[in-house]
Amino acid sequence: MKELLAKIKIQALEEIGKAQNQDKLYQTQVKYLGRKGELTLIMHGLKDLSPEEKPAAGKMCNEIKVAMEAAFDQKRDQLSASEINSKLNDAWIDVTAPGTPYKTGHIHPLSQVQQEVENIFSAMGFAIMDGPEVESEYFNFESLNVPSWHPARDMQDTFFVNQEADKKHGKLVLRTQTSPVQIRTMQKYGAPLRIIVPGRVFRNEATDARHEHTFNQVEGLLIDKDISLAHLKGVMEEFLTRLFGKPTKIRFRPGYFPFVEPGLEMDMSCLLCGEKGCRVCKHTGWLEFMGAGMVHPNVLKAGGIDPKQYQGWAFGFGLTRLVMMRYGIDDIRLLHGGNLRFLEQF
C-alpha cells in the first residue's frame, strides 16, 4: 500500500510538471483526484483495510492529496501567468511602425486657378464678389441692356425656372453669365468700384469637347472717373503675365455685347508657339480670351450710377477655358466629370 501510494505521488507530480496548458493540467487532475481518479479510488478502498493498517494509510493518503492539490494550484497559476504574457506579446504595439496612409484629397484644378486669379486681382485692389446662380431675367438680361425682344438674347440659350421672380423682374433663370453681379454690386455699393466675380454659369448647350451646360466665368468691373480702355489693357496684360509667369501680349478686336459700348474681344498671344502659329492657335499666333468693353450708359443707370460723372469697363472670361489652356486639357467635360484618375493629376 505504502509503495503504491508513493508511486502514484511521484507519477502525479511528474505529470503536473509536464502539463503544457490548462487543459492538460485539468485532465491530470481528473486522472488522480476526480470521482474515479486513482487516489480517490484508493481512498474509497481504505474502509476495507484492517483496523491496524487504516490510520497510517489514511494519513498518508491525506498528505498525498494535500501535496497534489498544492502542486495543481501552483502549476495552474504558473500556466495562466504565462498565457497572459503570451497574449500581451501578441498584442504588443510597435509605436515606431509607419502609419497606414490615407487619402486626404486636394483642391480641384478649377478652384486652384480661381484662387490664383483672385490673388492676382486682389493684389491690384479688386474686391471679390458673389451673386446668385438662380437669377431673375431682369438682372441677367434687361438691366444689362438686353430687352426681351432683343436678338442678342439668342446668343445665350437659357434655362428657365418655372416661376416668376416678380412683376418687374420677370421669370427666374439659371444665370447665363456673371454680368448680373455688375448691376447688383453697383446698386449696393455705388461708384467707384473695382471688382471681380468668379462664378458658375449655365447655358442650354449641346455638350461636346468644347461646350458644357455648366461652366465657370470671371467677370471684371472697374468704375471710376476718367477711365479708358488703356487701363483695361494694362490690367489684363499684367494679370496674364503674372498668371502664366511669362510676358504675355494682348490685342483688342471689335466685338458686340449689348452691355458695353464700344464692345470688344480680347485675344492673348499664344504661349505654346510664342506667336509663331500652331495647331492650338489655328496658326494665327493669338487665342481668343474674353469679351469686354466700356460699360454702356444704360447699364450704369440701371446700377444707379450717373454716366455723366463716372465711366468704366467690364470684362468676362471663361475660367473653365483658362484651366483647359493652362493644363492642356482637350475635353471640357473632364472638369466636372468627377473622375479621380483625371483629377489626381493636378
Residues that bind ligand PHE (CB under 6 A): 177, 179, 219, 257, 260, 291-293, 314-316
In whole angstroms, the minimum distance from the beta carbon of 107 to ligand PHE comes to: 25
Nearer to ligand PHE, 257 or 286 (CB): 257
Cis previous bond, 192, omega within 30:
yes
Reading the block at residue 110, the C-alpha cell is 478649377
Q: Enumerate the β-bridge partners of residue 186.
A: none
> Do 131 and 219 touch, CB atoms closer than 8 A?
no
In whole angstroms, what is the distance from residue 188 CA to residue 251 CA?
Answer: 33
> Which strands make up the sheet holding 127-128, listed edge to edge?
127-128, 193-202, 214-224, 311-318, 286-295, 260-269, 250-254
Residue 228's nearest CA partner among 325, 133, 294 is 294
In whole angstroms, what is the distance from residue 89 CA to residue 82 CA?
Answer: 10
> Which strands make up the sheet holding 134-136, listed edge to edge?
134-136, 170-174, 160-166
In whole angstroms, the minimum distance from the beta carbon of 115 to ligand PHE comes to: 21
Query: With left for phi above 0 and alpha for psi between -120 and 50, is residue 184 left, alpha or beta?
Result: alpha
Nearer to ligand PHE, 155 or 273 (CB): 155
In whole angstroms, the minimum distance from the beta carbon of 315 to ligand PHE comes to: 5
In whole angstroms, the minimum distance from the beta carbon of 155 to ligand PHE comes to: 7
Nearer to ligand PHE, 9 or 203 (CB): 203
Q: How many helices (H) and strands (E) does the chain have?
A: 11, 10
φ and ψ of 266, to 5 deg: -115, 130
In whole angstroms, the minimum distance from the beta carbon of 231 to ligand PHE comes to: 14
Nearer to ligand PHE, 286 or 289 (CB): 289
Nearer to ligand PHE, 75 or 321 (CB): 321
> Do 96 and 176 touch, CB atoms closer than 8 A?
no
Nearer to ligand PHE, 265 or 275 (CB): 265
In whole angstroms, what is the distance from residue 312 CA to residue 296 CA?
Answer: 9
In whole angstroms, the minimum distance from the beta carbon of 279 to ligand PHE comes to: 25
Nearer to ligand PHE, 42 or 155 (CB): 155
In whole angstroms, the minimum distance from the beta carbon of 202 to ligand PHE comes to: 11
Nearer to ligand PHE, 57 or 264 (CB): 264
By DSSP bridging, strand 214-224 and strand 134-136 are: unpaired
Query: Which ranges in the chain belong to alpha helices (H)?
Result: 2-18, 22-33, 38-45, 53-90, 109-123, 137-140, 180-189, 229-244, 297-302, 319-327, 340-343
Nearer to ligand PHE, 28 or 156 (CB): 156
Q: Which residue is nearest to ligand PHE (CB)?
A: 316
In whole angstroms, the minimum distance from the beta carbon of 178 to ligand PHE comes to: 7
In whole angstroms, the minimum distance from the beta carbon of 275 to ligand PHE comes to: 25
